[in-house]
Amino acid sequence: MFHYLHEVTGRKVSWDKVELHCVSSSSKKELEVFGHRPLLQLHGVNYDQQDRPLILIDEYVDSQILNFCQIRQRIINY
């Protein structure tokens, strides 16, 4: 997907911001495939190298099978 967007728009995804929200599977009809349980919604926006929004993404994760791990790059000028 990222390669296709680059070919079409000439823009490259550089970074993203993701917000985590707890939601119920009964909050939207398309989430009913999960049964009735809590889900974790990952609402993300991907930005290009000029900090312009390029992609909006909503992902839903079954909270019963979630294992959270994060690796974050830091650029710090000391």
Locate the domains of the chain by residue range: 2-65
The pLDDT value recorded for residue 69 is: 80
User: Does the pLDDT value for residue 58 go beyond 80?
Assistant: yes
Specify the pTM: 0.69
For 11-53, how does the pLDDT look when each residue is reduced to its tens digit (9 = 90+)? Answer: 999 999 999 999 999 888 888 888 888 899 999 999 999 999 9
What is the structure's pLDDT at 76? 66
Question: Residues 55-64: contacts with CB within 8 Å, 24+ apart?
Answer: 55/1, 55/5, 55/13, 60/23, 60/31, 60/34, 62/34, 62/37, 63/22, 63/37, 63/38, 63/39, 64/37
Q: How far apart are CA 46 and CA 1, in angstroms?
A: 12
Answer whether 62's CB lies under 8 Å from 34's CB: yes
